[in-house]
Structure 1
Amino acid sequence: MNALAQTLEKKIRKQLKPFTAAEAAAVTGLSIDEAKDAVDDLMKRYACRLQLTENGDLIYDFGQRLRRRDAKSFAEVRQDILNWLWRAFKVIYKAWITVTLVVYFVIFIIITILILIAATSQRGDSRGRGGRSSAAGINLNGLFELFFSIFRWNTRGGGMRYRTDRQGYPYRHYQPRPGVIDPDKKNFIASVYDFVFGPEPVKTDPLSNHKEVAEYLRTQKGVVVTAELQALAGWDAPRADVFFTDCLARFQGEAQVSENGAVYGQFDQLLRGTGYLQGGQIEYYWDEYEPEYELNGNKSGHNLFIGFMNLFNLGFSFLFASGLITALVDNAGMSNSSGDLVSLLAFSAASSGTISLLLGWIPLIFSLLFFLIPLLRWFKIRKQNRLRVQNNIRKRLYKILFETLGQPKTATEITHRVNQNGSVARLSEKQVAQNMETLVLDLKGETAVSESGQITYAFPLLTLELSEIERLRRERQVDSSLGNITMDEEV
C-alpha cells in the first residue's frame, strides 16, 4: 500500500463513515486525483461498497470497521476449526474401519488357504486313483485387489456425472468408485465408508466466481454492472456490491457512471491477451442447481449387509464388555477347562481386563459410533435438503426476474412463467409470493398494488442496470489487438 493510501487510512480509521473522493481530498490535503488513487488502493485491501446518489456522486462505504478482503469472520474461523476437527476424526475413524476390515480379511485369507489345501489334497487323491483333475486354477488377483481396496479411503471415482433429484433439478455428482469384482457396481469398501460419512460432495473452486466474471468480461466488451454479478452468483445486493469492488481491485477496473445514473465497472486490462488460454466457464446462477444431500448413496442391499455385520459385532462385543459371555457359556453347558475356544475366551474375558477391552469395549464403541454417526447426519441432512429445495426455488425465480428485466409482475404472472418448465416440480402461487417478498429485500425491489388489486413486484435498479449495460455495449468500441511483436528474446 502506497503512502497516499496510508495517509487516507489513518484519517478514515478515526471516523469510519461513508465519504466521497472530494471529502477524502479535504481531510488529507491530497488532490482529488490523488485521493481517488488512494481510495482505489484501499479498496484492494479492504471490503468496500459503492453508492451512487441521484446527482451522480460516488460514495465509498468501508463499513463500521475496516475489514481486510482476505480476513475471515469469527464464524468462518470457528467453522474452519470444526471442519478441521471433523476431517481429523474421519481420518482416525476410517483408519479404525481399515484395521477392522484387515482383521476380518486375515480370517478370510485363512479360510481361503484351507480351501486351497483341501482342493490340492483332492487333486492329489484323484491322481492317486489314476483319475484326471479337471479343477480350474484359482486367480488370486481379485483377492489381492480386494485387500488393497481397503486402504483407498477416497470413495469417489475420477469422473463426474449429472443426476436428477426428486423435484427434477439436475446437479453434478461424483461417480462412485467401481467395484473390484463387478466394475459396473459401487465398490463395497467404499460403501462401508459412505455408510458412516456419506458420499463426498462435488467440490467448488474458491476462485470460481472470479474466473467466471473475468471470462464474462472478456466476452462482454469489458463492462459489467452489479445486476449481472447477481445473475452469475445469486448474491443479494450487499454481497454483490462488495464483490463488485473486489473485482475492481483485483482486475484493475474503474468504476464509471452512465448518463442515466447506472454504476458499472470498466475492465480494459482484461481484454488484452493472445487468445490462446481458455478462461473459466460461464454459468448463470439459475443453471447451477444444488446437489441433493444423501445419507450414503448406497444400494439397499449393501446397507442391509453392512448394518447386519455391524449389528453382529455390536452384539458380541456387548457380551464380552458386560461379562454376559460367561453366563452364556455356562448356560450352554460348556466347561471353562474343556479347551473349547469359546469357553477359553469367555473365561479370559471374565478374568482379564485386557481381553474385555480388546474384544469388548473397543469394538463396542466402534460399533456404536458406526450407527450413531449416520443417525446424527440424518437429522442434519433433512435440514440441508429443506434449505436446498428453497435455494433451488430461488434460482428459478431469479431466472424469471432477469428474463423480464425486473419489470413489474404479479405473483400469478410469475407463477405461470416459472411452471412452464415441466421437467421440475411445479410451484404454487403461495410459494412464489413468499419467495418474492424475500427477493424484494435482497435485490432492492419494490411492491405496489395494481389496478386489479394484486400486488406487483418490481426491481427498478435491476431494470436500469440491465438496460444501461446493453446500451453501453452497443456503443462501446473495443480494440483488444496486441499489435505486432517488437521484441522476442529468451530470458
Structure 2
Amino acid sequence: MMHTLIRLILDSLFWTFHPFSPFSVTYDDYYDPYRPRVKKMPFYERVNRFFFGPEEKPFDREDAIKLTLQEIRAQKGRIGILDVMRVTGLSKDEADPFMAKLMLDYDGEVKVSEQGGIFYEFISMRKSVEREVVFSVPPIWQKREVLPEFTGNPAGSNMLIACLNGFNMLMSSVAIANGWTIEKFKYFLAAASSKIPLEVLPPAPEGVPLLLGWIPLIFSATLFLIPITRALFRGKKKHEVDVKNGKRGLLRAILSKMGIRGINEDVLKQAWVEQSQAQVDEREFTREIIRLGGDIEIKGQIPTYRFEAIETELRALEAARQKASSKEVSIGEVIFSSKE
C-alpha cells in the first residue's frame, strides 16, 4: 500500500514538472537582456557564399589615405615612395599615382636632393594647435594576407545547399525521362476528374519537357559548375596571395637588412619564404627586384643586389627630416580660443 502511494506521488510530480507540461516553469535565456545576441547569417547569403564564395573586401582608398597622412605627420612632413608601400601595401606602380593625387589634395611638393633622391614634402600637414605625439604606422608585413575561405559556411549548410540543388537536378532528370510537360499534367488532371474510362480517352499529349525538365536541369548544372570552376582556379589564387606576401617580405628585408655593400640574394629569398610561407617564384622575384631598381653584382658564389635609388631616397629623407624646423608645427599666435 505504501509502495503504491509513493509511486503515485512521484508520478504526479514528474508529469507536473515535465518540460512539456503546461505547469512547467523553465528559463529561456533568449529573453535575457544581458545575453549576447549571435547574429545568424541569412540563408540566402549562405547560398551566395556556396556558389560564389565570400565577398572579398576591396582596396579601401580612404583607409590608405588615412594611414599615409598619419605617416606623413609622424615623419615630420617628409615621406618617400617606400614609406607609402610600407604602410599601405601598394606596389610601386600603384604608389606613384596614389601620391600624385595626394599631393594635389593636401598641398604637397616633390623634392629632389643633390644626390638625386626623390621624396614628398607636406609642410602644411604638420601644423597643429595642440602638441600631440603621432606614432608611425605599423608596417603592412606585420599582418599576412591569407587566402579567403572557399565558402565560409558551416559544413552542414554546404551539405544542405548541395542536396537541394542536387534534388532539383534529380527531379528535372526524372521529368525529362518521363516526358513530363504542363499539357500532360493537365491531361492527367482532366482524366482523373472525368468519368470516361481511360480506354476511351485519347493518348496523353507528347512534348519537350522544357519548364519541368531541361530548364531546371541546365540551371542546376550551371550552378554546380560555378564552385567547381572556383575550385579549379583556387591554386592560382593562392599563388597570387603568396606572391603578394613574398613581395612584402622582400621590401622588409631591403629596408631592414640592406648594408653598405648591398644585400645578398639568399637574404632576400629567405625573407620572401618567411613572409609568404611558400617557395620563391623566381619570375616574380626577378620582376620585383627590377621594379625596385635593383642591380645585381656577382662577387663570389652568392649574388648581391644594390638598390641605389632606394639608398639615395633613404639618405635624402633622413637629411630632410633632420633639417625640418619645429616652427613648421606651429600655426602662429592664437588670438581666440573656445577654451577661454
Q: Give 5+ residue unaligned stretches, structure 2.
A: 1-14, 23-37, 182-187, 194-203
Q: CA RMSD in A?
A: 4.0
Provide the residue aligned with 2:246 in structure 1. Answer: 393
1:361–1:222 Cα change, 3 Å: same
Contact conserved, 1:405 with 1:462, CA < 8 A, in 2?
A: no
Cα distance, 1:195 vs structure 2:
0.9
Note if 1:309 corresponds to 2:167.
no
Return the alpha-carbon distance in structure 1 between the equivalents of residues 240 and 272 of structure 2: 19
Deviation digits for residues 116-168 of structure 1 (CA, Å, limit 9, x no counterpart) = xxxxxxxxxxxxxxx9997457xxxxxxxxxxxxxxxxxxxxxxxxxxxxxxx
Provide the residue aligned with 2:323 in structure 1. Answer: 475
Return the alpha-carbon distance in structure 2 between the equivalents of residues 351 and 274 of structure 1: 87
Q: Supply the AA of the counterpart residue of 1:197.
A: F
Return the alpha-carbon distance in structure 1 between the equivalents of residues 48 and 179 of structure 2: 31
Return the alpha-carbon distance in structure 2 between the equivalents of residues 240 and 193 of structure 1: 34
The count of corresponding residues between Structure 1 and Structure 2 is: 291
1:369 alignment partner, one of 222, 233, 246? 222
2:234 alignment partner, one of 381, 393, 397? 381
Note if 1:465 corresponds to 2:313.
yes
SS in 1 for 2:149: coil
1:313–1:449 Cα change, 3 Å: same
TM score, norm. by length of structure 2: 0.70
Cα distance, 1:226 vs structure 2:
2.3
Q: Supply the AA of the counterpart residue of 2:267.
A: E
Superposition pairs of residues 214-363 of structure 1, within 5 angstroms: 214-274=69-129, 282-321=137-176, 323-324=178-179, 337=191, 351=205, 356-363=209-216
Contact conserved, 1:211 with 1:279, CA < 8 A, in 2?
A: no
Return the alpha-carbon distance in structure 1 between the equivalents of residues 160 and 326 of structure 2: 65
Return the alpha-carbon distance in structure 2 between the equivalents of residues 243 and 378 of structure 1: 34
Contact conserved, 1:255 with 1:263, CA < 8 A, in 2?
A: yes
Deviation digits for residues 274-316 of structure 1 (CA, Å, limit 9, x no counterpart) = 5699999934342353331333122333322321221111111
Provide the residue aligned with 2:263 in structure 1. Answer: 409
Q: Supply the AA of the counterpart residue of 1:412.
A: D
Note if 1:206 corresponds to 2:58.
no
Return the alpha-carbon distance in structure 2 between the equivalents of residues 276 and 319 of structure 1: 77
Note if 1:425 corresponds to 2:273.
no
Moved more, 219-228 or 282-291: 282-291
Deviation digits for residues 355-408 of structure 1 (CA, Å, limit 9, x no counterpart) = x55543443343223212222333343322221112111211211111124752
Return the alpha-carbon distance in structure 2 between the equivalents of residues 213 and 260 of structure 1: 25
Contact conserved, 2:73 with 2:134, CA < 8 A, in 1?
A: no
Provide the residue aligned with 2:196 in structure 1. Answer: none
Contact conserved, 1:410 with 1:455, CA < 8 A, in 2?
A: yes
Contact conserved, 1:293 with 1:381, CA < 8 A, in 2?
A: no
Return the alpha-carbon distance in structure 2 between the equivalents of residues 405 and 236 of structure 1: 20
Percent identity (aligned) = 24
Cα distance, 1:228 vs structure 2:
2.0
Q: Supply the AA of the counterpart residue of 2:154.
A: K
Contact conserved, 2:67 with 2:88, CA < 8 A, in 1?
A: no
Return the alpha-carbon distance in structure 2 between the equivalents of residues 459 and 474 of structure 1: 23
Cα distance, 1:424 vs structure 2:
6.6
Return the alpha-carbon distance in structure 2 between the equivalents of residues 406 and 136 of structure 1: 80
Cα distance, 1:321 vs structure 2:
4.3
Return the alpha-carbon distance in structure 2 between the equivalents of residues 395 and 468 of structure 1: 23
Contact conserved, 1:211 with 1:280, CA < 8 A, in 2?
A: no
Q: Give 5+ residue unaligned stretches, structure 1.
A: 1-130, 138-176, 180-185, 327-333, 340-349
Cα distance, 1:462 vs structure 2:
0.7
SS in 2 for 1:207: helix
Contact conserved, 2:243 with 2:276, CA < 8 A, in 1?
A: no
1:325–1:293 Cα change, 3 Å: same
Q: Supply the AA of the counterpart residue of 1:404.
A: K
1:405–1:251 Cα change, 3 Å: farther
Q: Which structure has the larger Rg over C-alpha atoms?
A: 2
TM score, norm. by length of structure 1: 0.50
Q: Supply the AA of the counterpart residue of 2:324.
A: R
Contact conserved, 1:256 with 1:263, CA < 8 A, in 2?
A: yes
Return the alpha-carbon distance in structure 2 between the equivalents of residues 233 and 248 of structure 1: 16
Superposition pairs of residues 439-450 of structure 1, within 5 angstroms: 439-450=288-299
Q: Supply the AA of the counterpart residue of 1:258.
A: S
1:426–1:380 Cα change, 3 Å: closer
1:227–1:375 Cα change, 3 Å: same
Which of 1 and 2 has higher RCO (CA within 8 Å, sep 6+)? 2
Return the alpha-carbon distance in structure 2 between the equivalents of residues 302 and 201 of structure 1: 20
Cα distance, 1:192 vs structure 2:
2.3
Cα distance, 1:222 vs structure 2:
0.4
Contact conserved, 1:237 with 1:444, CA < 8 A, in 2?
A: no
Contact conserved, 2:172 with 2:213, CA < 8 A, in 1?
A: yes
Contact conserved, 1:191 with 1:302, CA < 8 A, in 2?
A: yes
1:460–1:357 Cα change, 3 Å: same
1:178–1:136 Cα change, 3 Å: farther
Contact conserved, 1:314 with 1:364, CA < 8 A, in 2?
A: yes
